[in-house]
């Protein structure tokens, strides 16, 4: 085998550029000189500006590789920073969340004062059950107001939590509760999904059978579905919470140490067994508040919508803690984008005059597949910034997003980060950066990202691709893997003596802009050429009939590895033998004959994680006819069986 990243052949060169609009630039939060700031001074200044401390910190950071500590000696409370202080500062009437239920006409406007009242009641209710500082709690919920309320109430009490996607299996929830030794679980009867009630409590019941440490389960009644309540263990939210006091003085915010564990988030499991990623309190909050403010150019009157699920890191950082710390008005939508029809998102944007939309490439490609006419029915002129996260965004999807959603004028910020990093690490700043479709452009100030070769030497701009690394600690970095510091070291810190190994491959172009090229494990070696799956997928998506593409390699006796492509066509296009040849040729002309897929499979769906990422690991198992690996985080397991059958034909 050739060494792992002996420069990946970066074959496609995207050359379009979009300089910032001068009018936007003039009013932007980040102005000239922003990138010239000293990292330590920057993180100290932002910590004081964005966060209210009960006790000021006395040292900025301590770096005992691989363990970092930030804002030493500082004491604070995340709930106080996200809720109470805003009410104290006269923002009680400001809208915190516009909540939109999936059923039409079910809406709530929740002000910061309402949010405080709800959070205090919930915290008092939780406390009455015995939850306090240090009690570990699991949360398994959908996109209802009680979700952020629960997280904030737990933060208020100083109880570390792990939020598991409502949609993960009983196995996934159970194993996570066991791993964290959770004593409590908060859930709901069922959630609304595409017009149906999708059960949560019954799955939680099964999960609790595996997790004997759970003493009590609190259930929100959302859909009214039938559930079984186990005497002594299970309680209704309305019984526990509704009668409680909402006086903030009745349940003060617990002063937490800067380094106290805030929450644990299991990564999405795209590459194997999920990792329990530990985030601390102060560094995390400073990181997400700061990046949210600058990357999305948040103003006092901004209406912001991150259309992710609260159950993955994007939801924690950019639906709950970042926006609330900045006293932002956000939208939360409960359901799926195609209910009752495929224009639902655009209707929401029009209704609330949304200024910032933050979503994932997979959603953008799904909307592309459905067609731009859905968006055209609505007035989207309020949009000022569009964001993307989760996977590399193909230039075609980037351009479609900017043109059809952003009327050809809004900047698109492609934000690269991970559960591990807690906050956005590489991203354009909408008033400063010249954009390139498909490039995450530059590291955020105070983030020392780089690309290393196999020997751990930094690859100079324009000199090819290698390992994405970060050379210095940053405030919101994860502190360890829960209960497995050894795996923490091995996975992220052993490869290079002086940097954090992110696990992605990337290149920096001659202008210094970063291009993420997929995971290291996804790099292929075809006849001695190192190819990135992302580039071949981008070439496929560039074809007018293609909506989504996933590329993996399988063993091949002649070429070493052969390329297998799974393709979803746009609505109206037919998957024929001719189309197959046409797509192979398209890749041939876009990249080169070497990149033409050996096999191409048409499929209506691709296996996705709940957070909307393509599970290439499973596709590779299918391509190589192997037993399937861990499928607990798969959104819809039937997709893989279907693909297996198609691949055999
Ligand atoms: P696991 O680590 O358990 O396999 P995961 O890596 O999918 O799961 P996340 O932390 O949610 O879990 O995802 C982070 C990864 O998503 C990054 O390492 C990168 O591969 C990809 N990613 C996120 N944003 C971008 C982006 N803007 N451009 C390219 N890739 C991105
Ligand atoms: Mg990962």
Q: What is the DSSP string of 318-330?
A: IIIIHHHHTT-EE
Average pLDDT over residues 414-421: 98
Beta bridge partners of 304: 330, 356
Which residue's structure tokens are 């406007």?
Answer: 109
271 lines ligand 1 (CB under 6 A): yes
**Which token pair is 540?**
């496929």
Handedness of CA 95, 25, 515, 424 (dihedral sign): negative
| DSSP track, 426-474 | B---TTTPPB-TT--BSBPTT--EEEE-TTSPBPPTTS-EEEEEE-S--
Q: Find the 2 Cα to ligand 1 centroid distance in Å.
A: 25
Q: Which among 412, 516, 521, 632 is the best mutation to test ligand 1's pocket, defined by most ligand atoms within 8 Å of the CB?
A: 516
- What's the angle, vertex CA 491, arms to CA 490 and CA 496, rounded to 5? 75
**Predicted pLDDT of residue 13:** 66
| Distance (Å, whole) CA 604 – CA 625 | 20
632 lines ligand 1 (CB under 6 A): no
Which atom of ligand 1 lies nearest, measured to the CA of 519? 20
**Is residue 385 within 8 Å of 430, Cβ to Cβ?**
yes
Average pLDDT over residues 116-142: 98
Which atom of ligand 1 lies nearest, measured to the CA of 415? 27
Q: Find the 529 Cα to ligand 1 centroid distance in Å.
A: 24
Counting ligands in written order, which one lies closest to the CA of residue 390? 1
**Is residue 361 within 8 Å of 329, Cβ to Cβ?**
no
324 lines ligand 1 (CB under 6 A): no
| Distance (Å, whole) CA 175 – CA 400 | 40
The Cβ of residue 625 has, within 10 Å, a number of other Cβ atoms equal to 10
Which residue's structure tokens are 């009630």?
Answer: 197
503 lines ligand 1 (CB under 6 A): yes
146 lines ligand 1 (CB under 6 A): no
Q: Is the ipTM of this complex over 0.90?
A: yes
SS3 92: coil
610 lines ligand 1 (CB under 6 A): no
269 lines ligand 1 (CB under 6 A): yes
- Asked which of 69-78, 441-450, 539-548, 623-632 is least confident by mean pLDDT, the reply is 623-632
% of the chain residues with pLDDT over 70: 96
- Residue closest by Cα to atom 27 of ligand 1: 416
**Is residue 542 within 8 Å of 395, Cβ to Cβ?**
yes
**Predicted pLDDT of residue 591:** 84
Q: Where are any strands of DSSP class E within 234-300?
A: 234-236, 256-257, 261-266, 276-280
Q: Find the 394 Cα to ligand 1 centroid distance in Å.
A: 15
**Predicted pLDDT of residue 572:** 82
| Distance (Å, whole) CA 234 – CA 218 | 6
Which atom of ligand 1 lies nearest, measured to the CA of 427? 27
**Fold observed for domain 522-648:** GMP Synthetase; Chain A, domain 3 (3.30.300)
**Which one-letter DSSP state was computed for residue 127?**
H
HEC assignment per residue over 523-535: CEEECCEEECHHH
**Predicted pLDDT of residue 1:** 31
Average pLDDT over residues 129-133: 98
Beta bridge partners of 234: 217
User: Where does the pLDDT of residue 647 fall: very low under 50, low under 70, confident under 90, or very high at 90 and above?
Assistant: low
Residue ranges per structural domain of the chain: 522-648
Model confidence pLDDT, tens digit, residues 505-540: 999 999 999 999 988 988 888 877 888 888 899 999
Which atom of ligand 1 lies nearest, measured to the CA of 468? 18
**Which token pair is 78?**
């995340």
Model confidence pLDDT, tens digit, residues 463-514: 989 999 999 999 999 999 999 999 999 999 999 999 999 999 999 999 999 9
User: Where does the pLDDT of residue 110 fall: very low under 50, low under 70, confident under 90, or very high at 90 and above?
Assistant: very high
State the pairing for strand pair 546-556/560-569: antiparallel
- Res. 3: pLDDT tops 50: no
| Distance (Å, whole) CA 615 – CA 593 | 26
SS3 235: strand
Q: Find the 335 Cα to ligand 2 centroid distance in Å.
A: 26
**Which one-letter DSSP state was computed for residue 20?**
P
User: Where does the pLDDT of residue 649 fall: very low under 50, low under 70, confident under 90, or very high at 90 and above?
Assistant: very low
531 lines ligand 1 (CB under 6 A): no
**Predicted pLDDT of residue 643:** 77
Which atom of ligand 1 lies nearest, measured to the CA of 267? 3
The Cβ of residue 69 has, within 10 Å, a number of other Cβ atoms equal to 20
- Residue closest by Cα to atom 6 of ligand 1: 270
User: Where does the pLDDT of residue 269 fall: very low under 50, low under 70, confident under 90, or very high at 90 and above?
Assistant: low
Model confidence pLDDT, tens digit, residues 568-606: 999 888 889 999 999 999 999 888 888 999 999 998 888
Q: Which among 397, 444, 504 is the best mutation to test ligand 1's pocket, defined by most ligand atoms within 8 Å of the CB?
A: 504
| Distance (Å, whole) CA 483 – CA 356 | 38
169 lines ligand 1 (CB under 6 A): no
Backbone angles phi, psi at 408, to 5 degrees: 70, 10
Q: Find the 608 Cα to ligand 2 centroid distance in Å.
A: 15
- Residue closest by Cα to atom 1 of ligand 1: 269
**Predicted pLDDT of residue 196:** 95
- Res. 4: pLDDT tops 50: no
268 lines ligand 1 (CB under 6 A): yes
Which atom of ligand 1 lies nearest, measured to the CA of 266? 3
Q: Find the 104 Cα to ligand 2 centroid distance in Å.
A: 36
**Predicted pLDDT of residue 35:** 97
User: Where does the pLDDT of residue 363 fall: very low under 50, low under 70, confident under 90, or very high at 90 and above?
Assistant: very high
Handedness of CA 169, 139, 295, 516 (dihedral sign): negative
From the number of C-beta atoms within 10 Å of its C-beta (0-12, 13-18, 19+), residue 365 rates as: buried
254 lines ligand 1 (CB under 6 A): no
**Is residue 530 within 8 Å of 6, Cβ to Cβ?**
yes
Backbone angles phi, psi at 401, to 5 degrees: -60, -50
Model confidence pLDDT, tens digit, residues 384-394: 999 999 999 99
| DSSP track, 529-579 | EEE-HHHHHHHHHTSTTEEEEEEEEEEETTTEEEEEEEEEEPTT----HHH
- Res. 33: pLDDT tops 80: yes
Which letter, b or e, does each residue of 492-502 get, where b requires 16 or more Cβ atoms within 10 Å of its Cβ? bbebbeebbbb
Model confidence, pTM? 0.92
**Predicted pLDDT of residue 529:** 80
**Predicted pLDDT of residue 449:** 98
State the pairing for strand pair 216-220/184-188: parallel
Q: Find the 207 Cα to ligand 2 centroid distance in Å.
A: 25
Handedness of CA 81, 87, 91, 94 (dihedral sign): positive
Which residue's structure tokens are 């990243």?
Answer: 5
- Asked which of 10-14, 24-28, 263-267, 273-277 is least confident by mean pLDDT, the reply is 10-14
- Long-range CB contacts for residues 223-230, cutoff 8 Å, separation at least 24: 223/188, 223/189, 223/190, 223/191, 223/192, 223/197, 224/189, 225/189, 225/190, 225/197, 225/199, 225/201, 227/189, 227/190, 227/199, 227/201, 227/202, 228/201, 228/202, 230/205
Q: Find the 391 Cα to ligand 1 centroid distance in Å.
A: 6
537 lines ligand 1 (CB under 6 A): no
**Predicted pLDDT of residue 267:** 83
pLDDT, the chain, mean: 93
**Is residue 522 within 8 Å of 559, Cβ to Cβ?**
no
């Amino acid at each position: 085998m050739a060494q792992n990243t002996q420069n990946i052949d970066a074959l496609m060169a995207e050359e379009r550029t979009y300089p910032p609009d001068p009018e936007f630039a003039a009013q932007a939060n980040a102005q000239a000189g922003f990138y010239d700031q000293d990292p330590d001074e920057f993180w100290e200044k932002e910590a004081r500006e964005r966060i209210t401390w009960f006790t000021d910190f006395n040292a900025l950071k301590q770096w005992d590789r691989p363990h970092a500590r930030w804002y030493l000696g500082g004491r604070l409370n995340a709930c106080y920073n996200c809720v109470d202080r805003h009410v104290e500062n006269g923002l009680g009437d400001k809208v915190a969340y516009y909540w939109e239920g999936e059923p039409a006409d079910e809406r709530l406007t929740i002000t910061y004062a309402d949010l405080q009242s709800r959070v205090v009641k919930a915290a008092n209710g939780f406390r009455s059950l015995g939850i306090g500082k240090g009690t570990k709690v699991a949360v398994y919920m959908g996109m209802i107001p009680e979700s952020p309320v629960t997280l904030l109430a737990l933060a208020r009490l100083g109880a570390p939590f792990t939020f598991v996607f409502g949609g993960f299996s009983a196995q996934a929830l159970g194993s996570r509760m066991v791993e964290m030794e959770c004593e409590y679980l908060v859930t709901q009867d069922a959630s609304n999904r595409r017009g149906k009630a999708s059960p949560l409590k019954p799955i939680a019941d099964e999960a609790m059978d595996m997790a004997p440490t759970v003493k009590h389960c609190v259930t929100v009644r959302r859909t009214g579905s039938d559930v079984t309540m186990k005497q002594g263990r299970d309680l209704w939210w309305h019984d526990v919470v509704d009668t409680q006091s909402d006086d903030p003085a009745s349940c003060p915010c617990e002063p937490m140490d800067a380094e106290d564990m805030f929450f644990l988030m299991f990564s999405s499991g795209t590459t194997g067994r999920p990792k329990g990623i530990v985030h601390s309190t102060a560094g995390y909050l400073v990181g997400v508040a700061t990046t949210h403010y600058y990357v999305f150019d948040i103003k006092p009157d901004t209406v912001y919508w991150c259309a992710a699920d609260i159950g993955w890191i994007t939801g924690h950082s950019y639906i709950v803690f970042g926006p609330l710390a900045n006293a932002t008005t956000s939208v939360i939508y409960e359901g799926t984008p195609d209910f009752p029809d495929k224009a639902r998102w655009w209707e929401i944007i029009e209704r609330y005059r949304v200024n910032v939309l933050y979503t994932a490439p997979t959603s953008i490609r799904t909307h592309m597949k459905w067609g731009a006419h859905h968006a055209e029915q609505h007035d989207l002129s309020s949009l000022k910034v569009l964001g993307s996260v989760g996977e590399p965004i193909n230039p075609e999807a980037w351009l479609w997003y900017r043109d059809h959603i952003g009327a050809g004028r809004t900047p698109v910020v492609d934000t690269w980060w991970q559960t591990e990093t807690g906050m956005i690490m590489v991203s354009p700043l909408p008033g400063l950066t010249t954009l390139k479709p498909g490039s995450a452009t530059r590291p955020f100030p105070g983030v020392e990202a780089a690309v290393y070769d196999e020997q751990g030497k930094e690859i100079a701009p324009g000199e090819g691709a290698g390992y994405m690394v970060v050379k210095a600690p940053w405030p919101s970095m994860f502190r360890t893997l829960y209960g497995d510091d050894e795996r923490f070291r091995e996975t992220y810190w052993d490869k290079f003596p002086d940097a954090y190994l992110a696990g992605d491959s990337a290149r920096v172009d001659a202008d210094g802009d970063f291009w993420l090229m997929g995971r290291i494990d996804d790099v292929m070696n075809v006849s001695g050429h190192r190819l990135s799956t992302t580039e071949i997928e981008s070439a496929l998506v560039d074809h007018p009939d293609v909506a989504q593409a996933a590329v993996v390699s399988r063993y091949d006796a002649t070429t070493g590895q052969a390329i297998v492509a799974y393709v979803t066509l746009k609505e109206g296009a037919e998957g024929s033998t001719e189309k197959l040849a046409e797509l192979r040729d398209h890749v041939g002309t876009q990249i080169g004959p070497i990149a033409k897929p050996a096999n191409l499979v048409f499929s209506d769906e691709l296996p996705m994680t709940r957070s909307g990422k393509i599970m290439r690991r499973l596709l590779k198992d299918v391509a190589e006819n192997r037993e399937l690996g861990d499928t607990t985080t798969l959104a819809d397991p039937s997709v893989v069986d279907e693909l297996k059958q198609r691949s055999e034909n």
